[in-house]
Structures are given as structure tokens and as C-alpha cells.
Structure 1
């Protein structure tokens, strides 16, 4: 069953795609802005996770979060933006949400859900890049 005509018309609007990509990237550009405006806290966060070269890690994180989000929202180099955000998400998820190390069953349940939610974001980036490519191809 296809979408009702008003919904289908909305989904075809270019502004809807821009809005959807802004919503998808919200956690990333919000985090990038927070890190940029509070570098000491961002460096402390990197240190908390035992990351070496914290300054480099924070700079790269801000670049990927803000640059990737902006490119994806604008539909420019979407394959690169989505790939960068997906790779960042995969690495950050393994570092920050290692559910397999959590002993308490309830805490493991919550950590597993958080891990899987982040994997879902990676799928969202894949879809966003595919949809931008289809828009560009005129489908």
C-alpha cells in the first residue's frame, strides 16, 4: 500500500529531506557545538575514555561532528559525510558503550540498547546518503 497523496507529496519535498537530515544529525552537531564551546570538558571526556592525544581526538571529533553534519544536511558530498559520521559512531559506540563488559544484568540491558540505538544511527546515515544520491540522480 502506497502512502496517502498528501504524505507522498510531503516526502518528495526537498525541504523535508533537509529537515530529516538535520534531525538525524542533531546529536552530532549539538555535541560538536558543546565541545567547541567547552574545550576543557571535551578534553576531560576524551581522557575519561583513556584516549591518547586528547587534543587531536577532540579536534577530529568536532570536525567530523560539525563538518559531517553540515555536509549531510546540505546534501553535499553526502557519501563522505555519512561515511565519516557512521565510522565515528561505530568507533565511539565501541569505546563508550561496551555492553559486553557490564556485569549487572539490568545495566547490561540498558548498555546493549544504547549500543544498538547507535548502530541504528549508522543505518540512518546509510539511508540518508542513498536518498541524497537518488535525489541527485533525479529519481
Structure 2
């Protein structure tokens, strides 16, 4: 591996940046739910999650809180697990591609596959964090 790449991968700033990017989709979504609370609560109601305001609060707390935990390297196993479970649950609630047809089904399937990839990224980070933790405490 080139020395420049090694230096970047070993840099603390790059580790933090990677965690910010890994959680970007969650914390930006949580902030969106916070700043446009009424519309987001209405979307929750539309998905049959009632009361929408309560689901909106729970979702934005989970998205922002778990993202911060990962960014700060605190409770990584809990945060990655919570976001993974949340993400898999959004597929049948918001992206049920199997119940649709045509372009709409294709779009929802694409989003579902992207969600599964994000879950994979969360799992990889949890494994990385655990291995790093084990090396530090040996």
C-alpha cells in the first residue's frame, strides 16, 4: 500500500471523518425530522405509525443519538445495532417493493438494497471497533 494512503488511513481525522460519513444518512434525516417536525410526524401517520408525533420523536432521537454515539466512539455496539435494526424495519414500512409494481417497485427495491448495504457498513464498523478495542486491551 502506498505510504500516502497508509498515512491517511492511520490519521485520527480520517477515522472521525469516516464515522461522520457512515452516519450521515441518519443524523441528517434526524435533523430534518427535528426542523420540520409537523411534516415528518404527518409522514409517520401516513405510514400507519400513530401517533405520528411520538414515532417522529423516537426516530429523530434514535437517528441523532446513535449517530453521535458512533461519531464519539461510545456504545458503538449498541448504536450500530440500533441503527441496523431501525434500517431493516424501514424496508417493510416505507419501501415494500414486493407489494408494488413497475417503476415504483424498482425504486423501492433499490432503496431497500441500499439500506442493506448501509447495514453492512454498520456491521463492518462494529467489527472494526471491536477488533481495535481488543488490541488496545491485550
If the length of structure 1 is used for normalisation, what is the TM-score?
Answer: 0.90
Which residue pairs with 1:62 in the alignment? Answer: 60
- When the two structures are aligned, how many residues end up with a matched partner? 136
**Alpha-carbon deviation of 1:79?**
0.5
Q: Which runs of 5+ in 2 are unaligned?
A: none
User: What is the CA-CA distance between 1:64 and the residue it aligns to?
Assistant: 0.7
Q: Give the corresponding residue for 2:113.
A: 116
Gaps of 5+ in 1: none
Q: 1:12 to 1:138 in 2, by over 3 A?
A: farther
Runs of 4+ with deviation above 4 angstroms? none
Q: CA RMSD in A?
A: 1.5
1:16 and 2:14 equivalent? yes
The aligned residue for residue 50 of structure 2 is: 52
Greater RCO (CA < 8 Å, at least 6 residues apart) = 1
Counterparts of 1:95-134 in structure 2 under 5 Å? 95-104=93-102, 106-134=103-131
